[in-house]
Amino acid sequence: MAFLDLTNLEKTFGTNRVVKDFSLGIEKGEFISLLGPSGCGKTTVLRMVAGFETPTSGAIRIDGQEVTGHRPNQRNIGMMFQAYALFPNMTVADNVAFGLKVKGVPRDERQSRVEEMLRLIGLPEMAGRFPFQLSGGQQQRVALARALAPSPRVLLLDEPLSALDAKVRVSLRNEIREIQRELGITTIFVTHDQEEAMSISDRIVVMNGGIAEQVGAPFQIYNQPHTRFVAGFVGTLNTLAATVVSPEDGQVSVAGQTVTLAKKPIPAGKGDKVTLALRPEAVAFGRAAGREIVLPATIAEVHFLGSVIRLRVKVDGAIVALDTFNRPDQPPPPIGLATEISFSATDVILLPAD
Amino acid sequence: MKRFVAWAAFIGGCLYFLLPLVGMTEFSLKMRRGEYSFDAYAKVFEDPNFWATFGYSLTLAAATIVFGVLLVVPTAYWVRLKLPQARPVIEFITLLPLVIPAIVIVFGYIRLYNTSSVLPLTGSGLGTDILLTMGYATLALPYMYRAVDTGLRTIDVATLTEAAQSLGAGWFTILARIILPNVLVAVLSGAFLTLAIVIGEFTMAALLNRPAFGPYMQLLGANRAYEPPALAVIAFAITWGCMGLIQLVTRFSKHERAKA
């Protein structure tokens, strides 16, 4: 049994089933991200683990102990919130010491733990300050220290980086991951930012409509999406409509050409419509070595972004996005230019048709 | 021209409010013929009934504030946290004392809690004091509830509660150590308003026959000339003192500045 075991969790608000038959096992020390769009049920799952929502059915076990019916203050779970949620009437040190005080930890022990936590988050000199005297990033660091101080069994992070500016987000997410690794604490991170999820997670749970569409390592989720939703939600995806020519030989017809895919046989019948999905980095502008499939295209849009030029080309009526590196000796191609794109058969993700 | 009108309106407003006060204060200083003196104030302070009634009202005000805080803070907190749909109903209930006259409330009390009732509170001094405290709490309810509710609006009640719960805190700890300190200024505003109401209240205390400051002021007003305005000035000073205290507490409360 996994350290944190969620079994067949269901949550219904009135007639709205927000979480449907959600099961997940998380190993000790693992960093899991729940990723999905707004309303997909990721926060509800987190809140059920925290004890703020009671599951309509299903069970939650931590380290073999059933906690489904336990109140939030009986679960020994640390939590970070999007809105920091530091207690405004307390100093940084008092905030960090709060959980220890509630637990009845003696004063000396409490003080040394607070100092240890503040060192861990790199703010030992801020102990006497009030939350309003700190920046957003500092407040969230204090919130992390506060959540970790009572040595919780599980750490829950409810979109803790959403309220921060881009630069702080990146540095803080790396810090969170570093501290999580150092302490080896089992962590669930809720986010709708796929880059954030992919950069720090051991595994990602992609959620949609209350169910887990796919669970896997970031590399797996990105490169081998199981469903159209996962493929579309994680990263940018180009799609091309195709018709199966020979399922056994992996041949499809796309943009007036018959091409052979790496995946054989194709799980569809002859004449069936399928979708070929390609990540932008899998598509090259013009013919390129090692990319055996070549399709005619017309430049539709050119976005000069400095080091990168983002092109949007029209292939058989569909728009395909691809990036090329900027070269000072080679100006961006003009809009309307008839050209070619190329990609490898192994980079094609085959999805059912729309 | 615009500036002139604004100043004229400001000065007019000041005169409207200040002239009666100045007139009253001036009259209270004229007890000694031909010169200004504090004789009326001295007389008031020398009167043992002043101290007795003032002390009594102050004690009951303290009891009312404690009861009001214990009743209103958890109620307003719970409504905001768990029953937001019940807010209009609770607000309506808390407004009722403004539309139901005190005389109606006190007659209702006398009828319900007289000596031949199941709970004969009017049968003893302590019982009547308790009844009067409840009555005062009812009269102060609109002010206390609104003050606390406004205070709660300035903090993220739900998230702070959840943060405290995740750290192992129970309801009492959350209320006492997180919610109450963060709405303390609002609670104090409500408390000082309650104090002002209790100190000047006449109807309930008179009809329940308790030795409160309100009936004492009325009695003095009916029998003396210079002492009543002196007393009014004293009562006015107490009220303004309370308002000043609210301001002071707000200014010196460190974390409150963050919310401003």
- pLDDT tens sequence across A251-291: 999 988 899 988 888 888 899 999 999 988 899 999 988 89
Q: Is A160 on the interface with B (CB under 8 A)?
A: no
Q: Is A132 on the interface with B (CB under 8 A)?
A: yes
Q: What is the dihedral of CA A186, A178, A53, A92, to 10 degrees?
A: 130
DSSP-derived letter for residue A265 is: S
pTM for the whole structure: 0.82
- In tens, the pLDDT along B150-175 reads 999 999 999 999 999 999 999 999 99
Nearest CA distance, B183 vs chain A (angstrom)? 10
Pick from B166, B181, B257: CB nearest A50: B166
Q: Is A79 on the interface with B (CB under 8 A)?
A: yes
- In tens, the pLDDT along B208-250 reads 999 999 999 898 888 888 999 998 898 888 878 877 877 777 7
A7 contact partners, CB below 8 Å, separation of at least 6? A23, A58, A59, A60, A61
| Residue A175, CA distances (Å) to A77, A82, A129, A179, A228 in order | 20, 16, 22, 6, 33
Tell me the three state secondary structure of residue A32. strand
Q: Which residues of B touch A72 (CB under 8 A)?
A: 162, 165-166
Conformational region of residue A278, where left means phi above 0, alpha means psi within -120 to 50, and beta covers everything else: beta
Which B positions 152-191 lie with beta carbon below 8 A of chain A?
A: 155-156, 159-160, 162-170, 173, 177-178, 181-182, 184
Q: Is A103 on the interface with B (CB under 8 A)?
A: yes
Nearest CA distance, B259 vs chain A (angstrom)? 8
Pick from A73, A88, A146: CB nearest B165: A73
Angle at the Cα of B125 (from B119 to B126), degrees rounded to 5? Answer: 70
Nearest CA distance, A104 vs chain B (angstrom)? 11
- In tens, the pLDDT along A11-29 reads 999 999 999 999 999 999 9
ipTM of the complex: 0.83
Structure tokens at B57: 């009202």
Q: Which residues of B touch A52 (CB under 8 A)?
A: 162, 165
